[in-house]
Amino acid sequence: MPKFALKKAAFAAGCFWGVESVFREIEGVIDARVGYMGGNVNEPTYKLVCTNKTGHAETIEISYAPDLVSYERLLETFWKMHDPTQLNRQGVDVGSQYRSMIFYYDEGQKEEALDSKKKLQASGKYDMPIVTEIVPASKFWPAEEYHQRYNEKHGIKSCHI
C-alpha cells in the first residue's frame, strides 16, 4: 500500500461499536479505534465511563488519508449515522457517554464541522435543534481490547449509509 500523509478525526455518535464499523468501510480510512474522549479522568475504563461521572463520550478515533477521503465526507457520514438532536442518548443507549460530538484537531476541521452543522440545521431535516457539540480534541483513551472491532469479531454487519 502506498504511503499517505495521515490526519486524525474523532467523532462520538452513540455506541462506538457501530460507529467504528461504518467508518472502517470508507475508502481512505486507514484505521479506526474505539475509546473515550472529552472527560476529566485519566485512564478511564468502560465501567467507569458508564457511571456518567467521568465526562467522557464513547468516541471513534480515525486515521485517514485526505488524498483519498475528505473530511467533508467523514462529516457527512457522521451526520447520517445518528440522530444529532438527541441529548445524551442514541436509540436505547442513554447516558452522557452516548452524546453527539465532533472533536476537531485543527482550525480547518473546526470550521468545516461548524459549517456542516449550520447547513444541516438550516436544511429543515430536523424539527429539533441539533445538539452536537463541536470541541477541540483532547486525550484519546483507547477502550479495552474486547471493544475494538467488536462488530467484526462478532459477525455483526454494519448498517450501510
Rounded Cα distance between 2 and 17, Å, is: 28
Q: Describe the crossing of helices 16-24 and 71-80 by its angle, rounded to 10 degrees.
A: 140
Residue with cell 457517554: 97
> Does 15 participate in catalysis according to the annotation?
yes
Rounded Cα distance between 29 and 1, Å, is: 13
Give me the phi and psi of 136, to 5 degrees please: -60, 145
Number of C-beta neighbours around residue 64 at 10 A: 24
CB 101 within 8 A of CB 61: no
Listed in sequence order, the residues at least 6 apart from 25 whose beta carbon sits closer than 8 Å to its beta carbon are 158, 160
Strand partners, 157: none
The catalytic position among 9, 10, 15, 22 is 15
| Catalytic center residues | 15
